[in-house]
Amino acid sequence: MRQHGKNIILVGMMGTGKSTVARLLAEQLGYSLVDLDAAIVDSAGSSIPEIFAEKGETYFRDLESEVLEKVLQSDRQIIATGGGVVLRPANRERMLEQGWVVALQASADVIVSRVGQDSGRPLLAGDVNERVKRILEERKDAYDFAHLTIDTSTLSVEKVAQQILAHYR
């Protein structure tokens, strides 16, 4: 399957490796690296915990959708999204239209070990174990729309990137 220049969009739960894999892919393909969370922080002028605390989740989701739409106007990018961008159907449609969507997944235990206790992720505040399990359950089918799905639980970043590229070109 040849997909010259098409954006590669990484979706998946927090802690599945989207940002680290995106960095490596961008390097290997010579594409621009876009971290959607970082773009949101730039646009808001405040951190993600601050946005959630001061403006609430709906405001964050609106901003996230806006920034996604803007980013998707270019191509040749590796885009690491935030875990919740898939919650809005319009975002899923846009991603499928403007890119090649790869879902990363991992077991709850691996996610917890990767995100740590204080991850700067408002949705994981409190008992991280319990929060990760609950959110995984809530989003059980949310990432199924992707073109390709890879379980990163036992794979190195290099291996994940290799598997993605094997399908991309």
Give CA angle at 136 (105, 65), nearest 5°.
80
Q: How far is the CB of 157 from ligand S3P (least distance, A)?
A: 15
Residue 164, H or E segment: helix 157-168
Options 21-29, 88-96, 100-108, 119-127: segment touching ligand S3P (CB under 6 A): 119-127
Nearer Cβ to ligand S3P (29/135): 135
Q: Can you tell me the distance from the alpha carbon of 116 to that of 118, in angstroms, rounded to the nearest whole number?
A: 6
CA dihedral 103, 107, 108, 111 (to 10 degrees): -60
Site membership for ligand S3P, residue 17 (CB under 6 A): no
Binding residues for Mg(2+): 19
Options 70-78, 98-106, 116-124, 153-161: segment touching ligand S3P (CB under 6 A): 116-124
Which of 31, 69, 38 shows the shortest CA–CA distance to 161?
31
User: What is the contact surface with ligand S3P in residues (CB under 6 A)?
Assistant: 14, 18, 37, 48, 82-84, 121-123
